[in-house]
Amino acid sequence: MNNTSTPASAPPSFRVVTLCTGNATRSVIAQLWLQKQRPDLVVVGGGTLSIEGLPMSPRTRNALMRVGLTDPGHRSHQLVADDLVDVDLVLAMEVDHVNWIRREHPEVADRTATLRRLLSDMQPGPPAFATRLAALELSSVKLASAEVEDVIDPAGGDQDEFDRCADELAALLAEFVQLLDPPPEDH
């Protein structure tokens, strides 16, 4: 994650990690969608079980184009501790990813949730997003079943499954950005 300093007059950037298994489809779609809709966010994608440096599949590329996104240079990335420095939110695609964070990086468990969990448990602000997030006590919340919380991984599926995943994520993320604090005003 970029740890460059921010000028004193600029508001701190809100840092999000999008997390799936291989950083090949779901976290890529979420990362790119958030970057396009909210360029004020710092968004990094990663996987819990990634092979570092693999290009995305043609099915992922086609699904991205379906929702108006592209990233021809994407390479898969295994999430590492440095990606979590100063992170405000780890946006997981599955319950298994939340459990992985709780085991491997418990220091950010209180800022880790599935996208569906946030949509079901959090109301738009005020107060600030960080305050509403802390109130959820995510590090100790009992997770729901995969059927309730997961965005299904299209890996191994046909193009229609990848397209459905992209459509689903675009719809969920459109709801999610309503929970965030408004972007800073340009001066």
- In DSSP notation, the chain reads -------TTSPPPPEEEEEESSSSSHHHHHHHHHHHH-TTSEEEEEESS--TTPBPPHHHHHHHHHTT---TT-B--B--GGGGTT-SEEEESSHHHHHHHHHH-GGGGGGEEEHHHHHHH----SS-HHHHHHHT-TTTPPP--HHHH-----TTS-HHHHHHHHHHHHHHHHHHTTTSPPPPPP-
Peptide bond into 127 cis (omega under 30): yes
User: Taking the model in full, what pTM does it have?
Assistant: 0.91
Q: Which CATH class is domain 15-176?
A: alpha beta
Reported residue count of the chain is: 187
Angstrom distance (rounded) from CA 113 to CA 185: 28
Both structure tokens of 182: 């408004």
* Residue 17 β-bridge partners: 44, 90
* Confidence class for position 185, pLDDT limits 50, 70, 90: confident
pLDDT at 5: 44
Q: What is the pLDDT of residues 41-75, one digit of tens each?
A: 999 999 999 999 999 999 999 999 999 999 989 99
* Residue 16 β-bridge partners: 43, 89
Q: What is the pLDDT of residues 104-113, one digit of tens each?
A: 999 999 999 9
Both structure tokens of 153: 């991984």
* Residue 20 β-bridge partners: 47
Angstrom distance (rounded) from CA 23 to CA 187: 36
Q: What is the pLDDT of residues 7-22, one digit of tens each?
A: 444 556 899 999 999 9
Ranges of each domain in the chain: 15-176
